[in-house]
Amino acid sequence: MSLKTKIGSITRRTHRSVARLCKLGVCCGALLFVVACSDGVQLGEQGQQGEGAEPSPEPTPQQPQPTTPTEPQEPQEPSSPVQPPTESALGFVHNDGFEGSFFSGSGQCSTCHNDMTDTQGQDISIVDAWSTSMMANAARDPYWIAKVEAEMARNPQLEDQLNDTCSRCHTPMANDTARKDGSPIAILGDEGFLNKDNPLFDHAMEGVSCTLCHQVEDDGLLGTVEGTSGNFSVPIADRRSNRPAYGPYVDPNGVRMQAESEFNPVFGPHMATSETCAACHDLRTPEFGQDTAEGTSPASFFPEQMVYSEWKNSAFAVSDGNERTCQSCHMPEVDGLVNIASSGGAIPREGFSQHTFLGPNTVMQSMLMNNAAELGISVPAEEFEKSIVRNRAFIKTSASVDILSAEVLDGTLTSRVRVRNLAGHKLPSGFASRRAHIHFVVTDDSGAVVFESGRPNADGSVVGVATDADSATFEQHYEAITAADQVQVYEAIMGDVADQVTHTLMNATQYLKDNRLLPDGFDKASAADDIRTRGLALNDTDFDAGGDEVEYRVAVSGVGQLQVSATLVYQPLAFGHLQDLFQNAFLPNVSYFKGLFESASLKAETIAGDSVQAVFR
């Protein structure tokens, strides 16, 4: 634990009332177990084609070029400081020790649930681990703020819907409190939760925090359509000290916790289930298309993200003794017994899940770390650095890449690449800003590039990807790639009522393309409409449960020994998608995020790769 964090913890303790401290007695045995799950079209030129175009039938000879394949870079300091909008409250550090009628800040929890170690001496402090996650920073995410601002500018008539829907899972404590006490629900502007003078500012800036997740009750709707899209339920207790803190242990002792924080630890087995995560990680938005909703039932709405449903249709969800929940991967368990509180003589517990909330968005974490002061983030940089290292290792467990063959016959190199999805949901999953692509490179014995498909640029664009040249188009799904301007991109592309590409969520009514890699056990032929494969991948027999195979055919006449490599590259913020967003750069928050993104050095992560020497026949 950093000195700064320790001082903050001590300060929060001295601010407790004497009366409350006098009540302290028996320790609390409840585990703070926060849950989350873990991204007629007009046609362009060859390699920049919309869905439905055919790949080039013959390989085109490529002359060796004296260049070196590029790979994503490590996070570094931004090249120049970027200042938030003058009217933004992002630069203000919120009070994490606040105490509200229904919720309290993480500072109330850190007093007892930091300074924790396992039997090997590994730091497993709950609040410290959570504080660098995207859960904790859900409200400070500058991309999210910019996207909300742009969506409202493009559809001002839907401002009320956007404010409620978007704040429900990104500023849930503020949203839920406002719903309970009847105060305005707004994100931006003078009355917005992100305004430092808003009475719910502290609630909002905590993001998805301890007393939100631990108060979500099992109302019988978790995991159902009615219980998703932010429709979680937080009960109103008969008195403050009876506010529940649900956890996975059957015998919690609540005396210490009730006296210290006025929350009562309660056994809640639902906290260890994927169904609790589904409350925000299955999200449907109304299909407004022409200013009116297409349907009234949530099931008829546009599937903005369906992470839980993807998992539910995978082998990971099969109850055969090998089931893996969201928490199994994103909150790995610690071996052995753990004291789940650092003071008060906590009861040693088995099966403690770390609150690291592992995920792939190191790009945003690096952005938050490098611009912490401007974003009002008080978490020390070393905590972010540890989290980025954990998440980078986690990303590499999500997929594998194998070059199955690489043979040269009659001047043509033919290579087959197999990409396997090892995650329990689609890869990538979540909002449509996310994508992964294959970077395929052939080099000769001097190291010169003979052929390259999917070369990433420093600005975040990928050479040959149609969307990066024109955000109104998209790259097709390929079974075979024969030219450098063809790239296999695994992504979801939203479409509007006119069957045109849209990057505006509130205009989306369908997916024109969804070839995101399927998890094991997923049957694309029988999958429900809101999680089905879309576009050419649907009829690609090599695109199946667990992965995809792609064939590369390259003319290589006149070259010597060849080295073939294939790398799967992940981007949480696709370049072409952002170019559409940046059309609204006249808006202050969009302009601010544009500056952050363009000055960032890290824009992608390598998931997996393989390299072989070609065989000449």
Question: Domain boundaries in the chain?
Answer: 18-38+81-147+204-380, 398-616
Mean pLDDT on 295-323: 84
Query: Tens digits of per-residue pLDDT, 233-275?
Result: 999 999 999 999 999 999 888 788 888 899 999 999 999 999 9
Q: Give the integer Cα–Cα distance in Å for 408 and 415.
A: 9
SS3 labels along 178-194: HHHHCCCCCCCCCCCCC
Q: What angle do CA 27, 33, 35 make, to 5 degrees?
A: 165
Q: 138: helix, coil or strand?
A: coil
* Residue from 520, 274, 538 nearest 400 by CA: 520
Query: Tens digits of per-residue pLDDT, 182-211?
Result: 999 999 999 999 999 999 999 999 999 999
List all residues 6 or more positions away from 330 whose beta carbon is below 8 Å from its beta carbon.
36, 37, 38, 356, 357, 358, 359
List all residues 6 or more positions away from 562 whose beta carbon is below 8 Å from its beta carbon.
406, 408, 413, 442, 443, 444, 445, 450, 556, 613, 614
Q: Give the integer Cα–Cα distance in Å for 485 and 454.
A: 8
Read off the amino acid at residue 161: Q
Which has more confidence, 256 or 101? 101
Q: 96: helix, coil or strand?
A: coil
Local structure of residue 253 (DSSP, 8 states): -
Confidence at 289, pLDDT banded by 50, 70, 90: low
Q: What angle do CA 532, 533, 536 make, to 5 degrees?
A: 150
Where on the phi/psi map is residue 314: left (φ > 0), alpha (ψ -120 to 50), or beta? beta
Q: Give the integer Cα–Cα distance in Å for 534 and 527.
A: 11
Alpha helices by DSSP H, 81-196: 107-113, 126-131, 142-154, 159-170, 172-181
Question: Exposed/middle/buried for 10, CB within 10 Å: 0-12, 13-18, 19+?
Answer: exposed
Q: What is the DSSP string of 316-368?
A: GG--SS----HHHHHSPBPSS-EESSSSS-PPEESSPBP-----S-HHHHHHH
Q: Give the integer Cα–Cα distance in Å for 99 and 468.
A: 46
Which has more confidence, 13 or 541? 541
**pLDDT of 51 over the 80 cut:** no
Residue listed under structure tokens 């396997």? 420
The mean predicted confidence, pLDDT, of the chain is: 86
Q: Give the integer Cα–Cα distance in Å for 316 and 303.
A: 21
Q: Which two tokens stand for residue 73?
A: 């870079």
Confidence at 293, pLDDT banded by 50, 70, 90: very low
Mean pLDDT on 384-392: 97
